[in-house]
Structure 1
């Protein structure tokens, strides 16, 4: 018992020290700083008059999420090299991975601050009746959609970067993963009507906007599904990314990790299906034309 307690204490101490080191490194990473600056710059002043903060959601998603994927993959590779150079008693990879996962809370915090700003802006400068979002979308719907688009994307991108850094450590692979992720996400934005129901399988998607209808190509649409369940689904994906990153270390492949991974897979499937088939049942068209 004493040996186990001492080992746990050493592991906890190492995790705390590593997390502090990785946090400092990530906070100084040029890609993270660029993402923060872009997010702040687009949050100064009044947002888009017709879509409020929803027009800006792509900025934290790309700046903190996509760039965060590349930054965290690079940091994971660097941490691996430093760990191997530490000598005959390096820190276990699973502890290092846990420290990197905790570091992802830094961009997530910035993303949450953006969500708070977007919610404030939505009330400070309400959209017009022909804008987006419109009824039946209320504050809860708005918060969940913004949380997924601008908050959880800032967490999921860096966590995916850890996975990429573990399994694809070659230089240049993380940017390729980021580009492919963006390319696939563009297809699932609700522009193509047959894909609107299943678009929620993606870690980033829109919930409406000036998609247009025949005769009015800027008419606001409200897309089907439940952004609340989608946000829950994204949380499951983030958890699965942590499990996948930890799984790279054979010493971490315990029954508890297997159980956690299995439970998250089931939860991800259930929440994704709920995001597809609950909430708003079909695409809604704003009854007022654009420019009215």
Structure 2
């Protein structure tokens, strides 16, 4: 006679999400990443804002700073989500019982990824508060000099959505890769893909094609050494070609595809509906990529030089 307990095929998904969200929120690696992101941002604006010729300090390169939460929160969330996904399955194997199907457990961890998303939104709120202390210079590529929709799209796509995407990619890794160190390998490959996939040609005539990568930069940073570079005058900054609003949609489509890919690991979930959803998301991602690449900024949008003190 078997002593194995039957698996519970129906469970409260919201309850499962709450449990996984608490586990996510309490993970030390995520807490370290969030504190690092918030701390670095505070230091950049409060202690490292340059002084202009009028004697005032101004926050600069604000549209390049979403790399901070993407790095500290997004990448750590990838590792945390992968570990949570694997640990859930290890517990299931050890207890010979399961709170719902594998697909439902995957969706529960995916729902818990609201934690890094909220952490990313917290970073954005921090920026908006800190610039009341050191506001951006009128020449800064920011609200007032760039279309507001594009500014919000860059901030959201490369900040909070990148935090969400990193976590969802972690679930995908946790489902499909079980060898030791898989999350760390995924982090390294993701960083390399992001750099190699855009930096060699970002400032060329084909720079608009770079937006296929999961984290595509738009802001060049200020030429703070006073020297011109790639057609950008000294002390100026630029936005490279592309449509940030369409890219935001593309990034969200990639997030959805990561969830579908993780759910697909459960053979019992491979229904016609899931297949149609997957192909629909692929088509949507391709369409949004084309919009991001071939609409929006057709050429670099270059600012007026910022009057920074030498």
What's the TM-score bracket when you normalise by the shorter of the two chains? 0.7 to 0.9
**2:297 corresponds to 1:276:** no
Is contact 2:73–2:120 with CA below 8 Å preserved after alignment?
A: yes
8 Å CA contact retained: 1:53, 1:121: no
Deviation of 1:247 (Å): 0.1
Paired residues in the alignment total 283
Q: Secondary structure at the match of 2:95?
A: coil
In the alignment, the residues of structure 1 paired with residue 29 and residue 154 of structure 2 have an alpha-carbon distance, to the nearest angstrom, of 25
Distance 2:98 2:195 in 1: 46
- The equivalent of 1:262 in structure 2 is 279
After TM superposition, the score normalised by the length of structure 1 is 0.87
Distance in 1, Cα, partners of 2:202 & 2:214: 17
The 1:236/1:192 distance shift into structure 2, 3 A limit, reads closer
Counterpart of 1:193 in structure 2 is 203
Structure 1 gaps, min length 5: 1-8
Distance 2:117 2:88 in 1: 21
Matched, 1:97 2:114: no
Q: Which structure: greater helix fraction?
A: 1
For residues 89 and 287 of structure 1, the distance between their equivalents in structure 2, rounded to whole angstroms, comes to 60
Name the CA distance, whole Å, in 2 between partners of 1:133 and 1:185.
24
Distance 2:232 2:112 in 1: 49
2:81 to 61, 72, 88: 72
Pairing 1:207–2:205 present:
no
State which drifts further: 102-111 or 206-215. 206-215
The residue that corresponds to 2:52 in the other structure is: none
Superposition pairs for residues 141-290 of structure 1, below 5 Å?
141-187=150-196, 188-189=198-199, 192-194=202-204, 196-208=207-219, 209-210=221-222, 212-213=229-230, 216=233, 218-288=235-305
* Cα distance, 1:36 vs structure 2: 1.2
Which has the higher mean CA deviation after the structures are superposed, 179-188 or 71-80? 179-188
Normalization by structure 2: what TM-score?
Answer: 0.82
Contact kept? 1:119, 1:143, Cα under 8 Å: no
CA deviation map 1:143-166 (0-9, x unaligned): 110001111001000100000011
